[in-house]
Amino acid sequence: MDDPLETSELLAFAKTVEARSLSRAAIELGVPRATISRRLARLEERLGVRLLRRTTRSLTLTDAGEALHRHARIVLDAVHHAEACVRKTDDAVRGELRVSVPPMNGTSFSTMICDFARRYPEVRLHIHSTTQHVDLQRGGYDVAIRASTDLEPGLVARTLARDPVLAVASPAYLEAHGTPRTRRDLRHHRCLMGFVRGELPQTQWPFSGGKFQVEGTLFANDIHLLCDAALEGLGIALLPQLLVHLHLESGALVHVLPGAIQAESHIAVVYPEREFLPPQVRAFIDAVVAWAPELVVRAGAPKPKRAAKKRGDRATA
């Protein structure tokens, strides 16, 4: 019977895939780049297949590499959890913590992160900011903050707040193009559209009774850019109340089609379902839950509805 694969080789492989770079993987693991290269070469020689295609500018997975990465992440997580179970009698919160977050506007989130890092100096914290919904399990992330109700199977979401989504436009735009009274009127308007899951351009908006096809003239996966475009009179945007309420109060934006749009932005902290939640993940979740009301207060928005108190809603397929 062949000896099992070396954990160090699997770790080098997984880190290289997730960092998309041998150099970055070496930095994260605290070893020389040459060590990563040797471990990858030994792994490919042992398996007899090519796992990665490497050029001076890119690194891509082969089909065999894709299959191995899925299983390698499961094995490495199991090793990590086994170690954590042994250490869990120690009250110290330590270890690596990888977090995916949407771009955050303002200093409230940064303050929370700095406070967390100061409180838990033995946690190696990785914050990845992106508008896309990363695959937590395949990407090796421990937790994410998302403004969405979409969950992949195997994830748990703890809702932080629910925020109404409003259609808004500037007074100048409405004076030039008229105010829509029904959803069909949008066919004659310029609509500023987002991206579904941060990946695909929107084609529909949620209305009472279902979704309605909307033609966009500007698409962006950054809601702050869409808000700025609406303020500049470029069209009608569908945005969270938390983002636009001050503009509505000042008159810089106008709420259009009130009552017709029926949607909420669910702000949640999301993490993979596990039998044992590592202490650093639990500590971060607690920090985010404690920070969420501060986000609303600093924005000066009406306090959004809070979800019922529970540990999390299990995702379904």
In degrees and rounded to multiples of 5, residue 232 shows phi and psi of: -80, 0
Q: What is the CATH number of domain 162-264?
A: 3.40.190.290
Average pLDDT over residues 242-247: 89
pLDDT(168) > 90: yes
pLDDT(133) > 50: yes
**Structure confidence by residue, pLDDT tens digits, 70-98:** 888 888 777 776 666 665 555 578 888 99
Question: Between 206 and 174, where is the model more confident?
Answer: 174
Q: Does this model's pTM top 0.75?
A: no
In degrees and rounded to multiples of 5, residue 301 shows phi and psi of: -85, 160
Quickly count helices (H) and strands (E) in the chain: 10, 16
Q: What is the CATH number of domain 7-86?
A: 1.10.10.10
Question: Between 241 and 301, where is the model more confident?
Answer: 241
Listed in sequence order, the residues at least 6 apart from 249 whose beta carbon sits closer than 8 Å to its beta carbon are none
Question: Between 152 and 265, where is the model more confident?
Answer: 265
Residue 181 neighbours by CB distance under 10 Å: 10
pLDDT(191) > 80: yes
The percentage of the chain sitting over the pLDDT mark of 90, rounded to a whole number, equals 25
Domain topology for 97-157+267-314: D-Maltodextrin-Binding Protein; domain 2 (3.40.190)
Instruction: Report the chain's mean pLDDT, rounded to a whole number.
Output: 81
CA distance 255 to 248: 7
In total, the chain counts a number of residues equal to 317
| pLDDT value for 313 | 43
Residue 299's SS3 state is: helix
CA distance 140 to 272: 10
**Structure confidence by residue, pLDDT tens digits, 15-32:** 888 888 888 888 888 888
Domain ranges for the chain, please list them: 7-86, 97-157+267-314, 162-264
DSSP, res 2: P
CA distance 63 to 49: 10
Same fold for the pair 97-157+267-314 and 162-264: yes
